[in-house]
């Protein structure tokens, strides 16, 4: 028996990845446009990924009365103080394309006054390495809301460490993937990985692995309830 699972995102790339990551579970993954005549816009004004994911999961679960999974994720670059962070999808401007956000990130890196430069007092040569200055990570928060279990919420998080490139590489993935060299991938960017490789190393794959026990338990409970109803 398959259960409907609404994924609260309008990001086609996220939807593709989540469908692949959930392929072995008894769920029919749906997008908001599949079930809602006018999918509601949720203002993502939280200061953490978890807060934004929670807002989206609650809003879409209430609107659809379906089991709902929401993702909020982004890139944190150390030398930029954690930016783009929760504004990763809107870094260049509110309706920015992936290419515009990547360009804005590279411009910010060019403009920043590097506090780790050896020109500054107290800096050490080992901190002058580009790999140290451009340390970054992708973070993902997943929130699952079940409207038929008193709005019960499950939360999981995942991260992927790496470094930022000055020049994009690769044609896969989406967002900042062509600029992000992920640890454990032999120097390749996220955009140079196969889908299976990316899902094994990515922040989203790790967050979903942490969410899986909660989702499996909810699906099992739903199956038992339906079996009792039709027994």
Q: Please count the other Cβ atoms lying within 10 Å of the Cβ belonging to residue 7.
A: 25
Give the mean pLDDT per block of 10 residues along the chain (231 residues): 93 96 96 90 94 96 96 97 97 97 96 54 43 85 91 93 96 97 97 97 98 95 86 72
**Residue 72 catalytic?**
yes
**Across-strand partners of 74?**
139
The tally of domains found in the chain comes to 1
Residue 222: predicted pLDDT: 87
Residue 117: predicted pLDDT: 45
Residue 157: predicted pLDDT: 99
Rounded Cα gap, residues 69 and 90, in angstroms = 21
Q: Residue 49 is part of which domain span?
A: 3-229
Which CATH number does the domain housing residue 41 bear? 3.90.950.10
Residue 113: predicted pLDDT: 57
Burial (CB count within 10 angstroms: exposed 0-12, middle 13-18, buried 19+), residue 97: exposed
Q: CA distances (Å), 166 to each of 41, 62, 85, 128, 193, in order?
A: 34, 43, 18, 16, 18
Residue 39: predicted pLDDT: 82
Using the CB atoms, write b or e for 9-29: b if 16+ within 10 Å. Answer: bebeebbebbbebbeeeebeb
Give residue for tokens 């999981």.
156
Which one of 71, 72, 146, 177 is the catalytic residue?
72
Rounded Cα gap, residues 146 and 230, in angstroms = 21
């Amino acid at each position: 028996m398959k259960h409907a699972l609404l994924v609260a995102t309008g990001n086609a790339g996220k939807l593709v990845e989540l469908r692949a990551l959930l392929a072995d579970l008894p769920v029919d993954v749906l997008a908001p446009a599949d079930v809602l005549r006018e999918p509601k816009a949720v203002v993502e004004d939280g200061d953490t990924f978890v807060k934004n994911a929670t807002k989206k999961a609650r809003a879409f679960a209430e609107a659809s009365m379906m089991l709902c999974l929401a993702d909020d994720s982004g890139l944190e670059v150390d030398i930029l103080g954690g930016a783009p962070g929760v504004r990763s999808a809107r870094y260049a401007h509110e309706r920015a394309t992936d290419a515009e956000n990547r360009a804005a990130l590279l411009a910010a890196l060019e403009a920043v006054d590097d506090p780790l430069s050896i020109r500054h007092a107290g800096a050490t040569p080992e901190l002058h390495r580009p790999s140290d200055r451009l340390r970054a990570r992708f973070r993902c928060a997943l929130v699952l809301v079940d409207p038929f279990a008193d709005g019960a919420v499950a939360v999981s998080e995942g991260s992927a460490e790496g470094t930022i490139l000055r020049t994009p590489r690769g044609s896969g993935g989406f967002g900042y993937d062509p600029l992000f060299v992920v640890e454990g991938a032999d120097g390749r960017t996220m955009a140079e990985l196969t889908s299976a490789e990316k899902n094994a190393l990515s922040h989203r794959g790790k967050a979903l692995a942490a969410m899986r026990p909660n989702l499996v338990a909810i699906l099992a409970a739903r199956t038992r309830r339906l079996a009792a109803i039709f027994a």
